[in-house]
Amino acid sequence: MAHPLMVDPDSPLLGRLRALCLALPGSAEKTSHGHPAFFTVKVFAYVGASVKVDGAYVQHPDSVVVKPHPDEARALLEQPRCFRPAYLGPAGWVGVDLDDDSDRLEVAELVEESYRATAPRTLVTRLDAGRG
């Protein structure tokens, strides 16, 4: 049975994240458990997540979930807009709630860091070569 879509497919936030993620070498989009997910060989960003609070799942549909460096993850989790997502949090993933005022450069940096942590070396080399 397929999961219901958990994010508005016409969301401007999803559109911005899609453009950002699909600009990275070798990236593609799929739906994973009802959430848009961006990947190369492994997923590097999810849109939307949930957190289990008092036995119930609280949705964070306007968020991006990334896999930052462990030091960055600890710093992010000190911020009120960041959370440890259900299922993925124990593996080092962090959710970041987003809105129209979110710093787009910071979001791009978090997505790129996650991409670098999960993409094959050849794709990371292509990313770096494109900046030279």
**79-126, pLDDT tens digit by residue?**
999 999 999 999 999 999 999 899 999 999 999 999 999 999 999 999
12-119 placed in CATH 3.40.50.300: no
The number of C-alpha atoms within 13 Å of 67 and in the hemisphere containing its C-beta is: 18
Categorize the per-residue pLDDT at 131 as very low, low, confident or very high, splitting at 50, 70 and 90: confident
Q: Which residues of 14-47 are buried (b: 16+ CB within 10 A; e: fewer)?
A: bebbbebbeebbebebeeeeebbbbbbeebbbbb
Q: Which residues, 6 or more positions from 129, have their beta carbon under 8 angstroms from its beta carbon?
A: none
Q: Please state, in angstroms and rounded to a whole number, the distance separating the CA atoms of residues 128 and 25.
A: 10
- Whether the model pTM is above 0.85: yes
